[in-house]
Amino acid sequence: MADVTTLYLQAPTLHAAGERVLSTDEMTGIQALERHHPTIPMGPGRVERREFAYIRHGTLTRIANFDVAQGHVVAPSIGPTRTEEDFVAHIARTVASDPEVTRWHFVTDNLNIHQSESLVRLVAKHDGLQDDLGHKDKHGILKSMATRAAFLADPTHGIVFHYTPKHASWMNQIEMWFSILVRKLLKRASFASLEELQAKVLAFIAYFNTTMAKPFKWTYGRQPLSI
């Protein structure tokens, strides 16, 4: 908790120094639901009426980054799956989006794809490290999730991962942005296809970044939570 909250507090200073702090996670199973009849908006003396029957057109997964210092959503990825390869490609594309950054900080949870062999190899390649990484499940940096996580969290690397404690994904600021996406777009919308869902999500991100984006006011410090 101390590592993550300290990083949030330091984000504006790090940004000024050329480093970026991104809160990153996946939102899976976003459904493209098409209502049989359009929603009737509320009016004087009338509540909103929404059709209960719908057609399913499939689901999408989005991987998003929330810039802690600026409040923007950065380099979003949308696709059908959430795999190790998807996440590594997302990180690589995010890093490539701004070559001027001197160090990237990614806040993530402890999902296995956030501590994968492919991610270790991406960081090693980015930093030009020639060290032997070992062999998965046998020895070296790649031996286990713990050894891979320790490597990925090394503060001397150009890409650094900061992991929230287990069962504390609420500390990841992107979760607050996901709730905004659900309330402002997904909850009441109707989508005729996966392509329409993707287009409207990307349009909402552009709208959010232009009109709504601002840093979240983080108030939780490092004190243990009391019951």
pLDDT band at 223 (very low <50, low <70, confident <90, very high): low
Residue type, 155: P
pLDDT per residue over 67-103, tens digit each? 999 999 999 999 999 999 999 999 999 999 999 999 9
Look at residue 226 and tell me whether its pLDDT is greater than 60.
Answer: no
Q: Give the mean pLDDT of 164-184.
A: 93
- Cα 74 to the chain's mean position, in Å? 9
* Full-model pTM: 0.90
Q: Give the mean pLDDT of 32-54.
A: 85
- CA nearest 160: which of 112, 226, 210, 114? 114
Pinpoint the alpha helices (H) of 113-173.
Answer: 117-127, 145-152
Q: Give the mean pLDDT of 174-188.
A: 94
- CA nearest 158: which of 109, 114, 101, 108? 101
Residue type, 61: T
Look at residue 170 and tell me whether its pLDDT is greater than 90.
Answer: no
Look at residue 225 and tell me whether its pLDDT is greater than 60.
Answer: no
pLDDT band at 122 (very low <50, low <70, confident <90, very high): very high
Look at residue 135 and tell me whether its pLDDT is greater than 70.
Answer: yes
d(CA 194, CA 192): 7
d(CA 168, CA 73): 22
Q: Give the mean pLDDT of 164-178.
A: 92
Q: How many CB atoms lie within 10 A of CB 115?
A: 23
d(CA 77, CA 184): 19
d(CA 199, CA 193): 10
- Please name the residues in contact with 23: beta carbons below 8 A apart, sequence gap of 6 or more: 65, 66, 68, 106, 107, 172, 173, 174, 177
Dihedrals φ, ψ of 110, to 5°? Answer: -95, 20
- Quote the pLDDT of residue 227: 47
d(CA 145, CA 108): 14
Look at residue 124 and tell me whether its pLDDT is greater than 50.
Answer: yes
d(CA 59, CA 61): 7
